[in-house]
């Protein structure tokens, strides 16, 4: 039986010492950990947190400027808790946009509170060689073709939605290696979606995973 004496801080420290292996075991084979979904993050930390008597609560509350998702870690035995708040920044003003924003806020709030660090994708990318001129030219041509389909007064959100739609189309009908290459080519845009338009990041991620699953199913049927 795990010793649960102390408070939320000592219990969390003990739980964090067990989270590394859980995170590696739940890593998605097709994604860097930076893109792990909420389920993967919960799989990574909840068993260790619960084992040390820590529960997770994530209510939605009204803030001064934005509504927020609070992530509260409570240690029942000592009746102590810690919390943080992530604002709900909606990219689209409907229930789908709200749902995506809530999922995004829950994921990042839980990672921050549990101390889970995603793979340093930015650091890894910086260590790689910059794309050559031919590759850069192809990327610029693709960007220009997407923008040409929009009116001149298109808003930043409309442009982001057009890029997301174009990326999702690129995933259609591709094999596993081609899919991974397509993700790599567009990771700059995908990272921007994650930071500014979480509902678009979810759309692109779901399209990628659906294409990957279709490939896996085809292999199983052969």
pLDDT for residue 58 is more than 70 = yes
pLDDT for residue 7 is more than 70 = yes
Average pLDDT over residues 165-185: 89
Q: Which two tokens stand for residue 71?
A: 């992530």
What's the confidence (pLDDT) of residue 74? Answer: 97
Average pLDDT over residues 4-13: 85
- Domain boundaries in the chain? 8-114, 129-221
- Top-confidence residue, 194 or 24: 194
Mean pLDDT computed over every residue of the chain: 80
What would the pLDDT profile of 118-171 be if each residue is shown by its tens digit?
Answer: 544 433 443 444 456 666 777 778 888 888 888 888 899 999 999 999 999 999
Q: Are 18 and 48 in contact (CB under 8 A)?
A: yes
Percent of the chain with pLDDT over 70: 78
Average pLDDT over residues 64-83: 92
| Cα-only R_g, the chain | 20
Residue 36 banded pLDDT, cuts 50, 70, 90: low
> In sequence order, what are the residues at sequence separation of 6 or more whose Cβ sits closer than 8 angstroms to the Cβ of residue 40?
26, 27, 28, 33
Instruction: Please name which of 19, 4, 10 lies closest in space to residue 114, comparing C-alpha atoms.
Output: 19
What is the rounded CA–CA span in Å between residue 214 and residue 142?
26
What size, in residues, is the chain?
222
């Amino acid at each position: 039986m795990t010793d649960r004496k102390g408070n939320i801080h000592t219990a969390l420290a003990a739980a964090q010492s067990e989270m590394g292996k859980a995170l590696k075991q739940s890593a998605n084979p097709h994604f860097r950990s930076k893109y792990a979904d909420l389920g993967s993050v919960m799989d990574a930390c909840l068993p260790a947190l619960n084992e040390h008597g820590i529960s997770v609560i994530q209510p939605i509350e009204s803030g001064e400027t934005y509504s927020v998702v609070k992530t509260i870690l409570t240690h029942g035995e000592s009746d102590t808790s810690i919390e943080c708040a992530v604002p709900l920044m909606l990219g689209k003003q409907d229930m789908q946009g709200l749902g995506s924003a809530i999922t995004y806020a829950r994921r990042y709030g839980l990672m921050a509170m549990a101390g889970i660090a995603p793979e340093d994708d930015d650091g890894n990318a910086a260590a790689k060689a910059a794309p050559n001129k031919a590759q850069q030219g192809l990327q610029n041509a693709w960007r220009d073709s997407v923008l040409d389909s929009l009116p001149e007064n298109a808003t930043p959100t409309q442009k982001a939605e057009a890029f997301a739609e174009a990326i999702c189309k690129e995933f259609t009908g591709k094999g596993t290696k081609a899919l991974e290459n397509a993700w790599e080519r567009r990771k700059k845009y995908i990272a921007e979606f994650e930071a500014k338009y979480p509902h678009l990041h979810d759309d692109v991620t779901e399209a990628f995973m659906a294409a990957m699953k279709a490939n896996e199913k085809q292999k199983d049927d052969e």
